[in-house]
Each structure stands twice: as structure tokens, then as C-alpha cells.
Amino acid sequence: MLENFQLAAIVKKGSKERLLCVPLHQPVQNDLARSWHIQHKDFVDGIDEIDFDAGYKPEAHERFRIQKFELPAWMSDENSQTIDSLDPITKNDELLEQVRGIAAFARLGGQEVVLFQNFNRSHVIEPGRFLFLQKDTYESTQKPSLALDRKLSAVYAPDTRTLLFHNFRTVNTFLPLANFYKEASETEIRDVLSHELLEPEDADALAVDSNQWFRKRFAMLRDSGVLNNYTAQQIRDHSDGYEVSVNVVDDKIVFPADKREAKRLLQFLNEEIFRGAITETLYETNSKREADT
């Protein structure tokens, strides 16, 4: 059973990333400890751990493993004994739109463990959009509320510095995983740009002059399957509201030569842009700042 269960929200605002405590009534805390314990067992029992390989799609019974993984500085000193001393999210309702993940800190078998769930705009319940039964009458919340997921996205063991996860793109929204991606070579970038869905304006400039950031994102795009699973028009339709230019000509996405536009397109294709649930502000995941507009 998970002991000393504490819940925290992973918040990204402007240039800062931080943890906020999610205060819980004791009965709720006990219920969540039991629920997350079951989720933990489902996540780790009977699975095969494989070293992270960006080009491999794990089966349902497999988990990617990154050893010697260091939690980011804003989280690395926290444990199940310190979370309740953090600023509570209950006093920072405006930050709900910037929650990118939920972390549970607890002890299991005498060792600290950190359990993660994904969190996105659909998990924010705004007043008037959720009804609950109270004395034979349906009422609504008076303040924005949180909805938790039913499964874990990642598990971290601080004693061995081991991170287990199943989906790179999901976990990369709240933990910095891009550094574990091997950079795409010039040839590999050209291969991505030669995809039947893309029409690069200047493939030579993008392949030869790309810095580390671009090379990692081209590698991520190559492995994501986005270009294979969606048409150019479908991608264009999904771009509405994300302030990114997706120019489609002859059923191909024109990949811009301009580095600023190319960066924005890569962020969108790799799902590294998210919209705040309440204010609709755009943010870049793991970028430590509000998105350029």
C-alpha cells in the first residue's frame, strides 16, 4: 500500500516550472492512495522493461526505461514529506490552465516513489459544466475543479533514478525527455523532408544548418507517425487556433525555410504546443516560457 500519499500539480507558467500541492481531505487522500496503488501495480507488474529507443513503439506489456534519470531542479528535492509544505493550488486557481501533469509522492516498501498522470485541458472542470447530485438536486461547482485520470503515465524510483513510461509524447509534456533523443543526421533530416506529405521550401538549408534543437525535433517527428497517420488537410484542420501556419498545396504541407516558422511547425507537429484550458493562452511544453505569437 502507498504510504504518506501526497498529490502535486506540475505547473508551467511563463519562464517558471513548479510544483503546487493539491490539498486533500483525509478520506479522499486514503481513497486515492488505494486507487493509485492499484494503478501502480497495473503499470509495473508483469511488464518487460526496455531501454528507451525512440524508434520503437512499445507493446502493451512493455515499458520504456531510462536509467540515471535526473528529475528537473524544481522537483528533485521534493518527496512525500515535503509536498504538503508547497504552495497549494487552491490559492492559485488561475494556474489550473497551466497544469501539465499530476505527480503523486509516496512511500512504497520503505522507498520513495513518484507516480505521474497526464493532465490536459479536458481535465479542468469549469463551473457550470459539471453536475453532481446533492440532496436530490443537481448542483455545479463554484470554482474550477480537477479531474484525475484512471491510469499512470510514468513511474520514477528516486533511489535507483529509474524512470519507466510507455508513451514518449505524453510524458514529454511534463518531464524533459527530448534530451534523450538522438539528433537526426543531415541525411535523416532530408529523409523526413522527402516524405510524401511534405514540400520543403529549402531542404538543403534545413538539413545542413539545423542546430541541436531542430535535429532532435526532426528525429521526434520521424518517429511519431504523425505524417503517416494523417493527411495534410487533417493536420491543417487540427492547426486552427494554434497560431501556426500550415500551408497545404497539392495535398502537401509546405515546410517553410524561415527558421522561426519552421520551428513553430515542428513544435505543432510534435505536439509541443498546448492551449490553456481557461484563458486559451498558448504555451510551449518544456520550454519554460509562454509560446511566441
pLDDT at residue 177, rounded to an integer: 87
Element (H, E) at 189: helix 186-193
pLDDT at residue 288, rounded to an integer: 33
Which residues, other chains included, contact 32 with Cβ-Cβ below 8 Å and sequence gap of 6+?
5, 7, 24, 104, 148
How distant is the alpha carbon of residue 207 from its chain centre?
27
pLDDT at residue 26, rounded to an integer: 94
pLDDT by 10s per residue, the chain, length 293: 899 999 999 998 766 789 999 999 999 999 999 999 999 999 999 999 999 987 778 899 999 999 999 999 999 999 999 999 999 988 877 778 788 899 999 999 999 999 999 987 777 767 766 676 677 787 777 777 788 999 999 999 999 999 999 998 889 889 988 778 788 899 999 999 999 999 999 999 899 888 988 998 998 898 888 999 999 999 999 888 788 989 999 999 999 999 999 999 999 998 876 554 444 444 555 443 334 43
List own/partner pairs for 31-35 with CB under 8 A and 24 or more apart: 32/5, 32/7, 32/104, 32/148, 33/1, 33/2, 33/3, 33/5, 33/106, 34/1, 34/2
pTM here is: 0.70
> Angle CA(181)–CA(121)–CA(268) in degrees, nearest 5?
40
